[in-house]
Amino acid sequence: MNIGEASRASGVSAKMIRYYESIGLIADAARTEAGYRTYQPSDVETLRFIRRARDLGFSVEEMTTLLALWRDKSRESAEVKRIALGHVADIERRIRELEGMARTLRHLAGHCHGDHRPDCPILDDLAEGLVADAEPAPARAFRRP
């Protein structure tokens, strides 16, 4: 099948298929004499695996490892579980960070009059970040990793 058919069958866009090939996540597709990519059912199965892993938020590095484990029929499931639980911990950390951001914004919005006056604690807090970038600041509700 061609790249469009593989895309429809797997749910992965043609652009992403080409990207995954370019970074080595999937093997380069076979080519016709005219240079068009051709895909086998096993390639579509791999693309579906990748799509599901991406839907669950795994990184390209994690997907590379998971694909290798998936293909290795002598694998130990302990490694797969370790990767999955590490990913869960990362998701839970990000959830805590997002909840902290929401609390901070709710607090700031609650102290903003939202009227014709120019005073705005939301903008004041954002401006503090400009100073904080230049010098150490007290811990804030959210920091990017």
Nearest Cα neighbor of 63 from 78, 38, 84 is 84
Residue 23 has what pLDDT?
Answer: 96
DSSP string over 46-99: HHHHHHHHHHTT--HHHHHHHHHHHH-TT--HHHHHHHHHHHHHHHHHHHHHHH
pLDDT at position 144: 41
Per-residue pLDDT tens digits for 46-86: 999 999 999 999 999 999 999 999 999 999 999 999 999 99
Q: Where are the domains of the chain?
A: 3-71, 96-134
Closest by alpha carbon to 10, among 26, 30, 23, 24?
Answer: 26
pLDDT at residue 69 in the model: 97
* Architecture of the CATH domain 3-71: Orthogonal Bundle (1.10)
- Residue 24: DSSP 8-state: T
The whole-angstrom separation of Cα 47 and Cα 43 is: 6
3-class secondary-structure state, position 113:
coil
Enumerate residue ranges in the chain where pLDDT < 50: 137, 141-145
